[in-house]
A and B are shown apart, each in its own frame.
Chain A
Amino acid sequence: MDAHNEHAHEGVNYDGIVGPAVALGFAVFIFAISFGVLCVNAGGSVPKAMAMSLLVFTGASQFSAVSVIAAGGTAASAVIGALLLGSRNAIYGVAVAPWLPGSVKYRVAAAQFTIDETTGMTLVQNSPERKRRAFWVTAASIYGFWNVGTLIGALVGNSFDTQKYGLDVAFPAAFVAMVAPLLSTRKAQLAGVGGAVVCLATTPFLPIGAPIVISAVVALIALVPAQRKSRRS
């Protein structure tokens, strides 16, 4: 069988998956190093930072939990805020599940890797075979870079004065980069402004960390009537 036939036999072109997956992985790598540093500086340890990245494996939630703990917030508000943020992975799961059929074991395993990057890469592919391939290639790239980066950051973290190098600003900077693409609709912009205003307004009165949870909830309650109105019109 010559090379041409072999290609035709395979029938699927997998070009343009590995490159973007590695590029995403590299971006995540720098992000992961900052997470490792901030996590050990917030009273974590190398094993705790690694457990977060290996098991929790959803960047925004990990950053959010560490950020609340670092500010002196309660464990409860750190966890609730982080899980509210992680709830979008449930939506992602619904979106990618049709493209990743298999046994329950296979789907439970795939679920652990269902995050922003893998979902994005999967949904933009134009065939079922490419979607499945893109999901796993991106999962491998992100999981590898994320955990190696966390380990490096956690190992060097304690020798770092995060204040001196401005590294404490890695939190809001990362959040700005994450939120920017979400603010494309009017409703999302309202939710964002609502969250920001409620957070600042309640900070002096509520326990540290609680404003984060409250802002999300209040901003959303405020948006529910707006949604009803827009559906009627």
Chain B
Amino acid sequence: MSWTVVLVLAFGAFALKVFGFVIIGDRKFPPQVEAVIALIPAALLCALIMKDTFTVGHDLQIDARAVGLIAAVFGVWRKVPIWLVIVLACVATGITRAIS
């Protein structure tokens, strides 16, 4: 991870916050823009979940991470706090790796 990535990200993230808060401010985004932006996190986070669980480089692979994902989904379904979701998933994957 280079300093360039860190700084571009810092600038970009801040610019987005200032754009909404200060530049747009009391005015409104067009409703279509707002609807589309509101849907980005759902699409992106689901894509990230797939990449982090089922891919290695360019290959698709099912391994111990899938067990962690199941544990995480179970935790969210049981409405446990986010930190416990993370712990449950890590423990499930760690144990699966240790015994396989």
Q: Taking beta carbons and an 8 Å cutoff, which residues of A are in contact with B?
A: 26-27, 29-31, 34, 39, 42-44, 48, 51-52, 55-58, 60-62, 64-67, 69, 71-72, 75, 78-79, 81-94, 96-98, 100, 104, 107-108, 110-112, 114, 163-180, 182-183, 187-189, 191-196, 198-200, 203-205, 208, 211-212, 215-216, 219-220, 223-224, 227
Contacts and interface: CB of A to CB of B under 8 A. Distances in A.
A188 B37 CA distance: 11
B1 A42 contact: yes
A82 B11 CA distance: 12
Nearest to B14: A112
Contacts of B2: 75
Given A94-B25, A111-B14, A165-B94, A79 B43 contact: no
Given A48-B3, A91-B29, A187-B39, A177 B22 contact: no
Contacts of A194: 43
Nearest to A205: B58
Interface residues of B, number: 78
13 contacts: A30-B87, A55-B6, A56-B14, A61-B9, A84-B44, A91-B37, A169-B69, A176-B69, A177-B82, A177-B85, A203-B51, A204-B58, A204-B60
Q: Is the interface of A mostly helix, strand, loop or mixed?
A: helix
A166 B5 contact: no
Given A55-B6, A67-B52, A175-B49, 11 more contacts: A56-B13, A86-B17, A93-B19, A170-B90, A173-B72, A174-B82, A177-B75, A187-B35, A191-B39, A215-B46, A219-B39
Contacts of A199: 46-48, 50-51
B88 to A, nearest CB: 7
Nearest to A59: B82
Interface of B: 1-10, 12-14, 16-22, 24-29, 32, 34-55, 57-60, 64-65, 68-69, 71-73, 75-76, 81-83, 85-97
Contacts of A166: 64, 68, 89-97
